[in-house]
């Protein structure tokens, strides 16, 4: 069973930097800047609709398979929050009134369905990067999102594994279990928090994949 992992954090917290340890990965970068690391990737400055975006992803993943003889083990979405922003802008440009919001929900559903039904179901791990915001009233962090998908909890509600990056006292931490941060894990050996310098994303994905494989053996 493929892994679906969310990694969130404030802007410039180092989310993209974590990707350097990934093996056999493909990155879709829609983050307002060019992807900086030597990993197969596609920079997508803009898109007109989710069908165009997912069609491009399918084409590029096929190009990856043609080049390397296999599908990528992991597909990275960098970042989901920026993709949602573009969906929001596109729908506001194309529609009026309540149709804006119904189309936003439809576009987001098309995107999340693609992640689950095309990527995950074909055995590709998916790492979803997302920006977060801090709520001063509750002293908690939440993901940047749009539409009813965000109100239902966004990707946090759709994944079993969610980690949160935090920069504090000139150090970077990654949280795997927390009530303050959108972070949770089923991996018992994972610490609640650790220094980013001690964290290897590829190793973490491998450990989650091992758990998923063992669980599958009990499915009736």
Segments forming the whole domain that contains residue 59: 4-216
Please state the domain count of the chain: 1
Q: Across-strand partners of 165?
A: 9, 174
Q: How far is CA 3 from the centre of its chain?
A: 11
Q: Are 173 and 165 in contact (CB under 8 A)?
A: yes
Q: How far apart are CA 178 and CA 164, in angstroms?
A: 9
The secondary structure of residue 157, as a DSSP letter, is G
For 163, residues 6+ apart whose C-beta sits below 8 A from its C-beta are 5, 6, 7, 8, 174, 175, 176, 183, 185
Q: What is the pLDDT of residues 160-173, one digit of tens each?
A: 899 999 998 999 99
Q: What is the pLDDT of residues 44-82, one digit of tens each?
A: 999 999 999 999 999 999 999 999 999 999 999 999 999
CATH classification at residue 62: 3.40.50
**What's the N-to-C CA distance of the chain in angstroms?**
15
When comparing pLDDT for 122 and 149, which is higher? 122
Q: How confident is the model at residue 23 (pLDDT cuts 50, 70, 90)?
A: very high
Q: Is 105 exposed, middle or buried (0-12, 13-18, 19+ CB in 10 A)?
A: middle
pTM of the model: 0.94
Q: How confident is the model at residue 151 (pLDDT cuts 50, 70, 90)?
A: low
Angle at 82 between CA 78 and CA 79, to 5 degrees: 15
The secondary structure of residue 23, as a DSSP letter, is S
């Amino acid at each position: 069973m493929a892994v679906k992992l969310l990694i969130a954090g404030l802007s410039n917290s180092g989310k993209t930097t974590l990707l350097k340890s990934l093996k056999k990965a493909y990155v879709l970068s829609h983050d307002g800047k060019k992807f900086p690391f030597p990993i197969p990737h596609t920079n997508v400055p803009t898109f007109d609709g989710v069908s165009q975006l997912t069609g491009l992803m399918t084409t590029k993943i096929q190009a990856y398979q043609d080049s390397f003889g296999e599908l990528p083990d992991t597909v990275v979405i960098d970042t989901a929050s920026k993709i949602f922003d573009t969906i929001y802008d596109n729908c506001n440009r194309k529609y009026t009134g309540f149709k804006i919001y119904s189309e936003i929900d439809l576009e987001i559903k098309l995107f999340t369905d693609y992640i689950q039904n095309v990527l995950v179901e074909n055995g590709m791990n998916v790492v979803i990067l997302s920006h977060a915001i801090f709520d001063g009233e509750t002293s908690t962090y939440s993901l940047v999102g749009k539409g009813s998908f965000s109100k239902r909890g966004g990707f946090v509600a759709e994944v079993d594994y969610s980690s949160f990056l935090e920069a504090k006292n000139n150090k970077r931490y990654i949280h795997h279990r927390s009530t303050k941060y959108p972070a949770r894990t089923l991996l018992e050996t994972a610490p609640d928090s650790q220094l980013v310098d001690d964290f290897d994303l590829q190793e973490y994905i491998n450990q989650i994949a091992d758990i998923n494989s063992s669980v599958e053996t009990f499915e009736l």
